[in-house]
Every structure is written in C-alpha cells, then in structure tokens.
Structure 1
Amino acid sequence: MSNNPRSVSILLVDDDEINNFISIKLIKKALVSSEIKACLNGKFAIDELLKTQASGAENLPDYILLDINMPLMNGWEFLDEYKRLNIDPAGKSKIFIISSSVFSNDINKAKSYTLVKDFISKPLNIDKIRELFETEKHV
C-alpha cells in the first residue's frame, strides 16, 4: 500500500439535511481525501448511481452510507432496487446502514442483506468514522 492515499468517494443517503451537513464535516475531518455526495432519499440516490454507472462502473462510490427511514424510497427499498437493477455487479461500493434506529429487527434486517457491510448507529462522530474506514482498509 502506498503512502499516497487516493481519494475516497462516498455517497451519503439521508433525508436529514442538518445531519448530512454534520456528517460531511466529520468525514472530511477524518478523511481529508474524500469526495462526498449527498442524496435526500433512496430514489435520488438510485438515479445518481445509475447516471454514475453509465459513465463507467469504476466511477461508482467506494462507500454508500444509507439511512433507513426516508420519504419517497427508504433504505430497504433502496437496497432492493439497487440489487434488482444490478447497479454494482463487481461490488465496488461498500454499503453501511447509518441509522438512529435501535430496534433489533432493523439491525438484524440490515445484516440479512449481503450487500450491507455493517449497521452503524447515529449520531456519527469522528471516532466512528475513523473506525469504519480504518477497519475497511485492513479487510
């Protein structure tokens, strides 16, 4: 692994604009070399990913941070549509559920999706973000 880290691309899918603002600030502090796009619901995220995929699968984000409870298309519907459309057949994007839900059925449901790497409880903080990306580097 080189000492020159490449930029990490992240798609943040959450309907809470204040939460997105804070998450983006924290991610940029933890990962200086990051490009972050935010979508306010799963439908917008699917549309964004389809556009990105059309320009080349290598342009898909490295990470998708996905909230569960959103209008228009929630996190579960997003995952089903993402899989149905085969947006990332090579598995470039690592998907993490980021949710304030403390219900064990949501946590278990998240783990039932092979697409989902982990379930992370909100609120995000710099330590959780660093831990998430540090763990990923060593996988």
Structure 2
Amino acid sequence: MMNQALHILIIDDDEINNFIAAKLIDKIPPRAKVSTCLNGQEGIDYIISGLNNQEELPDIIFLDINMPVMNGWEFLEEYAKIAHQLSKKIVINMLSSSVYNDDISKSKTFSTVNKFISKPLTVEKIKSLYDSLGIN
C-alpha cells in the first residue's frame, strides 16, 4: 500500500480513546505514526495543511461520528470538497460507539468511507483492517 511508514490519523473528541487506540496500533506491525485531532474541523485543517506535502498525509483515518465543532458527517462533506486535490488515497474508517443501523447505512452513502468499525477499537479490528488493505 505504501513505501514509507504507515501514518494513521485518529479524529475523535475522546482523548482517552485516542490514547488507547494509539497504544493498540503501536502493538501491531508495521510501525505506524499516529496523529490525533479532537474534532472534524481539526481533521480537515490537518488534511489541508498537508496538501503541499502529501507524503505526510495519513494513509488511514479513524473518524468518530459524534464530536463538537464539526462531527464526522460534516468532516466527510468537507473532505469531499478537497478530495480531488489529493494524489494519495486516504482510507477513511468510521469509528463509533453508535450501533444505530441508520449510522451504518449512512456511512455507506459516502464513497470515501471504507468501513464502519464499532468502538472499542481492538487489536483484532485493527489487524482485520490491515489485512483487508494488504498491510502487513
């Protein structure tokens, strides 16, 4: 999937979940750089700031749905406006404690969303995602 180190961006307003997710990701090869943003606006700003140096953009995003300032759905709408500027494919995965079928169905309406992953994130869920992306 990539030539350099894996870069993962977690966009979630729960700092404890972000810390735990980063520790779980760290347990699984390959080594990954993990960055975090606390809401969708920070996430969009992060992506926009990397447009001039796209190798620095994340390979994978874990995106929460319910966040202050800008939620996950709003992030996806803003992301769609800049996606054409990206030369790198970023794999976006919804990461939510929501088990509402409406949220799962809605996530499938966004072509940029790869998977809907229910919280909590686990080593097994990360490995399954890596396997599906051919990362090892």
Shared fold (TM-score, shorter chain, > 0.5): yes
Aligned to 2:39: 41
- The structure 1 segments of at least 4 consecutive aligned residues displaced by more than 4 Å after TM superposition are none
Aligned to 1:132: 129
Give the TM-score normalised by the residue count of structure 1.
Answer: 0.89
**CA drift at 1:87:** 6.1
Q: Does the 8 Å contact 1:50/1:87 carry over to 2?
A: no
Give the TM-score normalised by the residue count of structure 2.
Answer: 0.91
**CA drift at 1:92:** 1.4
Q: Does the 8 Å contact 1:66/1:98 carry over to 2?
A: yes
Aligned to 1:74: 71
Give the one of 71, 95, 98 matched to 2:95.
98
RMSD (Å) for aligned C-alpha atoms = 1.8
Out of 36-45 and 84-93, give the one that drifted further: 84-93
Aligned to 1:23: 21
Aligned to 1:115: 112
Aligned to 1:51: 49
**CA drift at 1:90:** 3.5
Q: Does the 8 Å contact 1:12/1:64 carry over to 2?
A: yes
> Any gaps of 5 or more consecutive residues in structure 1?
none
Aligned partner of residue 51 in structure 2, secondary structure: helix
Q: Identity, % of aligned pairs?
A: 46
Out of 28-37 and 39-48, give the one that drifted further: 28-37
CA distance in 1, matches of 2:65, 2:46: 18
Does the C-alpha gap of structure 1 residues 11 and 88 become closer, same or farther in structure 2, counting only changes over 3 Å?
farther
Aligned partner of residue 85 in structure 1, secondary structure: helix
Q: Does the 8 Å contact 1:60/1:92 carry over to 2?
A: no
